[in-house]
Structure 1
Amino acid sequence: MGNIADMDPVDETLSPEQRERIRGLLMRAAEQAREREGELGVHEPSWCGDVVDQTEAATELQLQAMLTESERRSIERIEHAMRRLDDGSYGRCEHCQQPIDPRRLDVAPWATTCVGCP
């Protein structure tokens, strides 16, 4: 079975094999995001030292929080794509209802909008 890009954008129906391949891609992406999120929470900055060291620690903590939130949003997007796969709306833009270019889905299988929509 080929890439998602093998989908015909005119015929939006996915074969069972395509559906399972996409589900596998999404599940692996979610697992990787969860692993990255878990790794981010392991590092505790050191609050010892002078003002510069404490400022670095605070900056590191803020960066960890931003990265963790980014991974959380990634997981939410992936789970949303899986629900769309289940309900049959996968591959259709949420804004304009047009088919999403399969090449876009090949790069970002969690995409819910076409390139032309926000």
Structure 2
Amino acid sequence: MVRKITKTNPNIIELIINLRKQSNQEQAAIWKDLAKRLERSNRRRAQVNLSKISRNSSVDETILIPGKVLGSGNLDHKVQVVALGFSKMAQEKIKEAGGECLDIATILEENPKGSNIRIIE
């Protein structure tokens, strides 16, 4: 069964299609789960503050946010944050803590099996 994508942003549509392909090729359920989360309406898309990432992650962990990362709170350890978007303040604070900000397409290429990635909403 093929789901009809009702998104209008061509970049998001392409990302969802690539996530589904990768999920089927690598037998990685994380990418199919992420595609379902990205198909939701924009109002239901995740917006996560740095304080929540800091509380729910450990050093050198890869955290995936199916939405936008906001800069409220502090990040006190190094993490790799993968998200659809970042606020300027969030990017600055993540880099100050020694972490890095990546987009979803990049991590899909670097880690095709989706191993050692935690999704936070």
TM more than 0.5: no
- Structure of greater relative contact order (alpha carbons < 8 Å, 6+ residues apart): 1
Report the structure number with the largest CA radius of gyration: 1
Per residue, is there more helix in 1 or in 2? 1
Per residue, is there more strand in 1 or in 2? 2
